[in-house]
């Protein structure tokens, strides 16, 4: 990519907290449609910058730091539950005067945007659910295990580098591991624990039938998160859902198959996304 689409980072007071975001967009198009990107459970906004660089060619793109992560409000005394984090997204859009927007969420972020859209459907143009956990009460467990999160977070608080991160993310590039090692320490462990517990205690299936806009479900072929029976159940709840696959990717889809991630959108967002920058 010859020219960065990064514009700036900022903070806004919304839903009673400081919300930090990074903004990307096409400098030549001030009327580009808005896209809000909500990362996964231990992914501060900056770690999705390489993805937002591409979205920024086509959309006025905002990546949010969920509370308890990155540079957004964190620490004791905050509610890190699904409903509150969903309300953060809606409050963010309202605080910045964003009247219409596409929602893209990965993993935890996908669950949050579903709940956000159900709680405030006005203005939602589409939802892109990137490999969302479909665990919940009475359902099989999420395949990720808690020690993977807690051990890496605690090590990051002491100090770690790309080589240390190799034990947790062996398939990632040096640059990806170094960035994660740098920012993982901003993930407040009780916030991460609440999100992980909500994977198992909050059932999002009831939200599918209530989604107010066209919805894409992107499935990681090697992720083990969404299985064939899950696809069938989701289709019964939302028959018109678009389902796309990235066969060679694990749960962290754009890290595993960058081009395949964008190809899986097709023209769902109203345009075909080209990672190399050709339009």
Beta strand residue intervals within 31-183, DSSP E: 34-38, 60-64, 101-106, 124-130
- Residue 29 confidence (pLDDT): 66
pLDDT above 90: residue 229: yes
Instruction: Report the chain's terminal Cα–Cα distance, integer Å.
Output: 12
pLDDT above 50: residue 279: no
Instruction: Tell me what the mean pLDDT of segment 212-234 comes to.
Output: 98
What tens digit of pLDDT does each residue of 121-153 get?
A: 999 999 999 999 999 999 999 999 999 999 999
- Residue 50 confidence (pLDDT): 97
Instruction: Tell me what the mean pLDDT of segment 222-249 comes to.
Output: 97
The angle, 0 to 180 degrees and rounded to 10, between the axes of the packed helices 146-158 and 189-201 is: 170
pLDDT above 70: residue 278: no
Transcribe 64-80 into DSSP letters: E--TTSTTS--STT---
What tens digit of pLDDT does each residue of 183-209 get?
A: 999 999 999 999 999 999 999 999 999
pLDDT above 70: residue 277: no
pLDDT above 80: residue 19: yes
**6-142+202-263: CATH, from 2.60.40.1180, 1.20.1050.10, 3.10.20.30, 3.40.50.1820:** 3.40.50.1820
pLDDT above 70: residue 24: yes
Instruction: Tell me what the mean pLDDT of segment 116-121 comes to.
Output: 98
What tens digit of pLDDT does each residue of 36-92 get?
A: 999 999 999 999 999 999 999 999 999 999 999 999 999 999 999 999 999 999 999
| Helix/strand number for the chain, H first, E second | 11, 8
């Amino acid at each position: 990519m010859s020219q960065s689409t990064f514009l700036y980072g900022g903070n806004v007071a919304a839903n009673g907290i400081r919300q930090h975001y990074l903004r990307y967009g096409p400098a030549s198009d001030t009327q580009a449609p808005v896209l809000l990107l909500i990362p996964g459970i231990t992914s501060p906004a900056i770690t999705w910058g390489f993805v937002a660089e591409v979205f920024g060619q086509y959309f006025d793109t905002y990546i949010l730091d969920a509370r308890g992560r990155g540079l957004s409000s964190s620490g004791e005394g905050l509610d890190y539950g699904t409903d509150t984090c969903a309300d953060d997204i809606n409050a963010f859009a309202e605080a910045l005067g964003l009247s219409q927007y596409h929602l893209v969420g990965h993993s935890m972020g996908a669950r949050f945007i579903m709940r956000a859209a159900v709680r405030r459907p006005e203005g939602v143009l589409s939802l892109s659910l990137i490999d969302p956990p479909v665990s919940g009460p009475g359902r099989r467990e999420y395949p990720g295990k808690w020690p993977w999160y807690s051990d890496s977070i605690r090590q990051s608080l002491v100090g770690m580098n790309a080589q240390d991160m190799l034990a947790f993310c062996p398939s990632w590039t040096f640059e990806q591991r170094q960035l994660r090692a740098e920012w993982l320490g901003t993930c407040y462990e009780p916030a991460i624990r609440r999100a992980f517990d909500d994977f198992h205690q909050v059932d999002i299936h009831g939200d599918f039938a209530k989604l107010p806009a066209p919805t894409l479900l992107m499935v990681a072929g090697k992720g083990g998160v969404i299985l064939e029976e899950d696809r069938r159940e989701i289709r019964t709840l939302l028959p018109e859902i678009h389902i796309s696959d990235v066969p060679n990717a694990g749960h962290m889809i754009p890290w595993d198959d960058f081009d395949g991630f964008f190809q899986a959108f097709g023209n769902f967002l109203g345009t075909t996304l080209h990672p190399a920058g050709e339009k």
